[in-house]
Amino acid sequence: MSGFQYEAPATVEAAVGFLAGAKGNARVLAGGTDLLVQLRTGAANPDLVVDIKRIGELRQISGNAASGFVIGAAVTGAEIGEHKELAKAWPGFVEAMELIGSTQIQGRATPGGNLCNASPAGDCTPAMFAAGVVCVIAGPNGRREAPVEQIPTGPGKTSLAKGEFIVAIKLPARAKNSGDAYLRMIPRTEMDIAIVGAGVNLTLDASGACTAARVSLGAVAPTVLLVDAAAKALIGSKVDDAALARLAAAASAACKPIDDKRGTIEYRTKVAGVLARRAAVIARDRARS
């Protein structure tokens, strides 16, 4: 129980080989900011740990706003924050990633890790839901793609099969006049897990009317939620006060939260609407500028 097999393969295929062939419990190590804490507390007791940071293609950001970005699964928050073009095209996604933990955590943490840790409160995950991220998954049967909202299935649980892991996340081509934003409520200004989080990504037409929108909520259900009713409240509107009020109401109505050490059902439900509304205003203003 005191040790585990550690592998640091150089290729995706080798990593899949280790994961697929593992006897017992295998874990992927990217940034390790969740896994190492779980190892220390005994919450995780893997037989095999596969470190994916030595796989070259997983360490890169490619593409551009027009074509869409592809972010390797081992790219850290710090590297994402330093990518100027990415930050310009997807400020909500980048800010959400950068909200996770401290500067030190940013030096290690990855969006794929945030997604696969499958906490409903992970900050980057709601932003990826709103952005419409597609995940590239490698496994024993080759590669496949899946929309981000299909990955987490419950707290700490994902839809990934044995031997599978995420090699990249793809942000779609950035439409003209579009913008995204993510906001979270924490008791301090840093270092906390979100009590509630809300992501909005929307596109406006030439008249300023919203033609497309995705709204997500974190920490209000067993998984991050994509709230269609909240998006519908925006589509067709000029994202004015009336639409924002409908959005907030729809967001609150979608919540299925719990009472826990971080917040109450009542609080999460109400503040989900507040944050969705505020995030929509930021996303709208970004789309306009």
Binding residues for another protein, per CB under 8 A?
1-6, 8, 29, 31-33, 36-37, 39-41, 49, 51, 53, 76, 78, 101-105, 107-108, 185, 187-193, 195, 261-264, 266-267, 270-271, 274-275
Whole-angstrom Cα distance, residue 216 to residue 122? Answer: 12
Cβ 226 to another protein, closest distance in Å?
23
Q: What single string gives the DSSP state of each residue in 102-157?
A: -HHHHTT--HHHHHHHT-TT-SHHHHHHHHT-EEEEEETTEEEEEEGGGSEEETTE
Whole-angstrom Cα distance, residue 224 to residue 221? Answer: 7
Cβ 103 to another protein, closest distance in Å?
5
* Residue 83 vs 270, nearer CB to another protein: 270
* Residue 29 vs 133, nearer CB to another protein: 29
Which one, of 96, 89, 74, 83, lies nearest residue 12 by Cα? 74
Cβ 191 to another protein, closest distance in Å?
5
Cβ 106 to another protein, closest distance in Å?
8
* Residue 192 vs 228, nearer CB to another protein: 192
Torsion of CA 50, 192, 247, 156, to 10 degrees: 30
* Residue 166 vs 275, nearer CB to another protein: 275
What Rg do the C-alpha atoms of the chain give, in angstroms?
19
> Contact 139/159 with Cβ under 8 angstroms?
no
Cβ 262 to another protein, closest distance in Å?
7
- Give residues with Cβ within 8 angstroms of 197, minimum separation 6: 96, 121, 123, 126, 182, 183, 184, 185, 217, 218, 219, 275
Cβ 179 to another protein, closest distance in Å?
22
* Residue 40 vs 84, nearer CB to another protein: 40
Cβ 251 to another protein, closest distance in Å?
13
> Contact 45/25 with Cβ under 8 angstroms?
yes
* Residue 170 vs 277, nearer CB to another protein: 277
Whole-angstrom Cα distance, residue 119 to residue 159? Answer: 14
* Residue 57 vs 192, nearer CB to another protein: 192
Whole-angstrom Cα distance, residue 252 to residue 268? Answer: 8
